[in-house]
Amino acid sequence: MRFYLYLAILIIPLVGCDSTEGDGAGGLEPTLRYPEIQEGMICGDVIDGKPAYIDNTYFRDERIHVWLRWENFLGSHEVNVIWVEPDGDIARETRSRFRSESGEQVTFFYLDTTHTAPLGPWLAEIYVDGRFARSYVFWIAE
């Protein structure tokens, strides 16, 4: 009987534990209210302030827009978009200053591609007041 008790003591810890078990959590109590992107997308055009031709694949010689709807945008803020080619080189950088009295703002930026634009996944990296906000991926295909 003592043998089975020792065997059980050795086996139970091995059977009862799984290497995939676990959990986690995290939290953040925001202290400052920075401008935040509430909605954003890559699109082929902006018509009457709204995104049109929403897609994530475009072709050379097309104009590609990034459309952004912000909240907590009270006052004046600088928005910077860095358009990054598939190899990591910066194709273009656009900066504009916007002002909102309501705290809400819609902004859009565009990149005119050429017939020699590199094919593959591009990034539109968005910064507000020098702080990274978000990036969007899109493809340029043949």
100 within 8 A of 139, measured Cβ to Cβ: no
At 139, list the tokens. Answer: 């493809």
> Among 125, 117, 113, which Cα is nearest to 83's?
125
Convert 59-72 to b/e letters by CB count within 10 Å (16 or more is b): eeebebbbbbbbbb
User: How far apart, in whole angstroms, are the C-alpha atoms of residue 105 and residue 74?
Assistant: 9
Give the residues across from 109 on adjacent strands: 66
This prediction's pTM:
0.77
User: How far apart, in whole angstroms, are the C-alpha atoms of residue 81 and residue 85?
Assistant: 13
Tokens 């859009």 belong to residue? 108
User: 16 or 74, which is more confident?
Assistant: 74
105-134 tens-digit pLDDT: 999 999 999 999 999 999 999 999 999 999
User: 36 or 13, which is more confident?
Assistant: 36
Computed from CA positions of residues 41, 42, 46, 52, in that sequence, does the dihedral angle turn out positive or negative?
A: negative
pLDDT exceeds cutoff 90 at 49: yes
Sorted by where each begins, the domain ranges of the chain are 34-141
CATH class (in words) of the domain with range 34-141: mainly beta
